[in-house]
Amino acid sequence: MTAAIEQDLVDRALRADPDATAALLAQLRPGIVRYCRARLGRVGGAYTTADDVAQEVCLALLRALPGYRDQGRPFTAFVYAIAAHKVADAQRAAVRDAGTTPVDTLADRPDAAPGPEQQAMNTDVARRLSGLLARLPEQQREIVLLRVAVGLPAEEVGVIVGMSAPAVRVAQSRALARLRTLAGDTLGEVAA
């Protein structure tokens, strides 16, 4: 999304234009989902929790939109600040509610989801990637997630993390080099 289109949509959404609000949310939601999935990962082979958090981010964004004031930063900095808070809330809740939930009823038809072997492989790769990301410093991890998983330009990521765009690119390069070193051959063992 270009800054001019985004700013026009933001301005119209702030004036309570429902079409602009819907269009803005439609353009932002895929990146929000990718961000939440990258930060929260899979639970039981599915992204259900991450997708639920992404939905919460979208709802929080809609609630916060009337109070948004342009402070010279990209609108996406506002959006991903909300997302970071919601992800942190979800992570705290996951630790608090770490118990298992019993299933009361059985499904009427077979599950169309990937089988146990594929789920295990996907979960293992996701666990390995998450473990590798966890070994990066927080700022580098956030840069990799925002640049690679969400696809934001270095300029916007720089505003979000408080760095210049060239510094973001350097930090991203160092983070990816560190991930390659940490990964070694461990990720090549399992075909995703």
Q: Which of 62, 96, 130 is the last residue of a domain?
A: 96
pLDDT of 70: 84
What token pair was written down for 105? 């009823």
How far lies 60's CA from each of 5, 80, 82, 145, in Å? 22, 11, 7, 21
Task: Provide Rg for the chain, Cα atoms.
Answer: 19
pLDDT of 7: 82
Q: Which of 96, 127, 150 is the last residue of a domain?
A: 96
The mean pLDDT value for 121-150 works out to 84
* 8 shares its domain with 92: yes
What is the rounded CA–CA span in Å between residue 46 and residue 41? 8
* 13 shares its domain with 89: yes
* 82 shares its domain with 12: yes
Q: Which of 65, 96, 127 is the last residue of a domain?
A: 96
Domain that holds residue 30: 1-96
The total of structural domains in the chain comes to 2
pLDDT of 192: 40
Tell me if 108 is assigned to some domain. Answer: no
Could you report the per-residue pLDDT of 153-182, keeping only the tens digit for each? 999 999 889 999 999 999 999 999 998 888
Tell me if 178 is assigned to some domain. Answer: yes
pLDDT band, very low/low/confident/very high, at 191 (cuts 50, 70, 90): very low
* 77 shares its domain with 130: no
* 53 shares its domain with 133: no
* 36 shares its domain with 68: yes
Q: Is pLDDT above 80 for 34?
A: yes
In CATH, what number is assigned to the domain containing residue 40?
1.10.1740.10
* 90 shares its domain with 124: no
* 10 shares its domain with 90: yes
* 10 shares its domain with 60: yes
What is the rounded CA–CA span in Å between residue 28 and residue 168? 21
* 132 shares its domain with 91: no
Please tell me the total number of residues recorded for the chain in this structure.
Answer: 192
* 6 shares its domain with 78: yes
Within 10 Å of residue 81's Cβ, how many Cβ atoms? 13
What is the rounded CA–CA span in Å between residue 142 and residue 92? 18
